[in-house]
Structure 1
Amino acid sequence: MKKKEISITLVGVVVGLVLGYAYYHYIGCVSGSCSITSKPLNSSLYGGLMGGLLLNMIYDFFKKKSPK
């Protein structure tokens, strides 16, 4: 992995962490029966994972389309 790819993935993780916590805070699961959104740690970690994977996937898609 190159520096650019790592930094883009880390940006996705950080944005995902923030959005995951915001989802817990504003929407969340009041009853506690939801495994992901019932606790802020679970929601933040899931958001971070999804954000990192999403931006890494988008980076790979555009990297393959651009001519070398």
Structure 2
Amino acid sequence: MLQAVLSMGIGAGLGAVMGYFGQCSSGACPLTSTWWRGALYGAIMGLIFYLSARK
């Protein structure tokens, strides 16, 4: 359980950074257009990565 939370936290952090610095004003990247959407998307991707890497 702790590993899942860590994976989601790392993903959320990376997604927030990606959303903050890569702000897309054209509307072509709606998932990372703001830092909080990037964090949400990153957390979901971190959870998917954790579930796929589990034994």
TM-score exceeds 0.5 = yes
Give the structure 2 partner of residue 45 of structure 1.
40
Q: TM-score, normalised by structure 1?
A: 0.68
Which digits, 9 at most, give the CA deviation of each residue in 1:14-33, with x for residues without a partner?
0001000111122231x151
Give the structure 1 partner of residue 5 of structure 2.
10
Number of residue pairs matched by the alignment: 54
Poorly superposed stretches of 4+, deviation over 4 Å? none
Distance, in Å, in 2 between the alignment partners of 1:9 and 1:54 is 9
Q: Aligned residues: percent identity?
A: 26
Q: TM-score, normalised by structure 2?
A: 0.81
* Greater C-alpha Rg: 1
Residue 55 of structure 2 corresponds to residue 55 of structure 1 = no
Q: Identify unmatched segments of 5+ residues in structure 1.
A: 1-5, 64-68
Note the aligned Cα RMSD (angstroms): 1.4
